[in-house]
């Protein structure tokens, strides 16, 4: 009697374990839904904007030229801030403005949020070295056409 009871209990737990293993296999290997969601969360897409050419008129007068601009983006889920005032002084915004932008950014925690737009090369050079101290901050380079 004890042996049959032991066999039944072992059989039951083996069956439950097998069902769990089959379900885990189907979720992790066969199902593509979770793979797509994992890629969305893990892969950071970087958009490379094209450089536009210089545009001249027929008299070789320059009509449109390019200017390098930088943006400072942050990913809220990765952004860790130890010293708020030092960061605000670095990027040149007030603490209230930073708090407001972080609230907006928190709506999509895994998507980049633009903290500062269109910094010139000189402005970006002043803060570039110190930005690496902060996790979740990523600079973005692009050129804009001006006339």
Q: Residue 56 pairs with which residues in a beta bridge? A: 62
Q: Please state which of the four CATH numbers 3.40.50.880, 3.90.1310.10, 1.10.357.10, 3.30.360.10 is assigned to the domain occupying 55-146.
A: 3.90.1310.10
* Residue 43: per-residue pLDDT: 65
Rounded Cα distance, 141 and 67, in Å: 11
The domains of the chain are located at 2-42, 55-146
If DSSP codes are grouped into helix, strand and coil, which group holds residue 103?
A: helix
- CA 101 from chain center: how many Å? 15
| pTM across the whole model | 0.58
Q: How many C-beta atoms lie closer than 10 Å to residue 3's C-beta? A: 7
Task: Name the one residue in this structure whose structure tokens are 């050079």.
Answer: 125
Per-residue confidence in pLDDT tens, the chain, 147 aa? 678 888 889 999 999 999 999 998 888 777 777 777 776 666 667 777 777 778 888 998 888 888 888 888 888 888 788 877 888 888 788 888 888 888 888 888 778 888 888 888 888 888 888 888 878 888 888 877 777
* Residue 76: per-residue pLDDT: 83
Contact 27, 34 (CB under 8 A): yes
* Residue 31: per-residue pLDDT: 75
């Amino acid at each position: 009697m004890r042996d049959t009871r032991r066999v039944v209990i072992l059989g039951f737990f083996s069956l439950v374990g097998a069902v769990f293993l089959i379900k885990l296999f189907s979720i992790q290997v066969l199902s593509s839904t979770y793979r797509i969601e994992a890629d969305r969360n893990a892969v950071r897409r970087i958009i490379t904007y094209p450089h536009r050419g210089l545009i001249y008129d027929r008299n070789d007068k320059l009509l449109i030229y390019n200017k390098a601009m930088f943006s400072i983006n942050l990913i809220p889920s990765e952004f860790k801030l130890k010293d708020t005032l030092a960061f605000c002084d670095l990027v040149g915004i007030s603490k209230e403005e930073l708090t407001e932008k972080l609230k907006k950014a928190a709506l999509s925690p895994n998507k980049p949020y633009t903290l500062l737009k269109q910094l010139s090369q000189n402005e970006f050079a002043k803060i570039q070295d110190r930005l690496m101290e902060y996790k979740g901050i990523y600079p973005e380079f692009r050129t804009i056409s001006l006339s």
